[in-house]
Amino acid sequence: MEILKQDPLIKMPKEIQVILLSLPFTTFFEDKNRLFVEKYKRIIADAFQTNAQLLTITKSLAKLINDEELIKLLEGAGPVLSKLCP
């Protein structure tokens, strides 16, 4: 549920919302809990807007045909996210 919470005063682009809602379906998130999400949600959201490797995923969302393509791309983001969220 923590991933669904959104501060009403902070605008979050739709692309970032889609990514955040999809991350729990990746192996990166399989062993993460609510406290992890509370601590790193903002960092992850910012990274998908600023980190060159992750920004590529964000920009490609409109071109994806289905959810599996998105999950496959997000699986590749695991190593970058692991460095940002130790």
pLDDT band at 47 (very low <50, low <70, confident <90, very high): very high
Please classify residue 76 by burial: count the beta carbons closer than 10 Å to its beta carbon, then call 0-12 exposed, 13-18 middle and 19+ buried: middle
Range of the domain at 59: 32-79
State pTM to two decimals: 0.87
Counting the structural domains of the chain, the total is 1
Q: Assess if residue 36 is contained within a domain.
A: yes
Q: Assess if residue 38 is contained within a domain.
A: yes
DSSP string, 1-65: -GGG---TTS---HHHHHHHHHGGGSGGGTT--HHHHHHHHHHHHHHHHH-HHHHHHHHHGGG--
Q: Assess if residue 16 is contained within a domain.
A: no
Q: Assess if residue 60 is contained within a domain.
A: yes
pLDDT at 10: 79
pLDDT band at 55 (very low <50, low <70, confident <90, very high): very high
Nearest C-alpha neighbor of 18 from the set 56, 74, 84, 81: 74
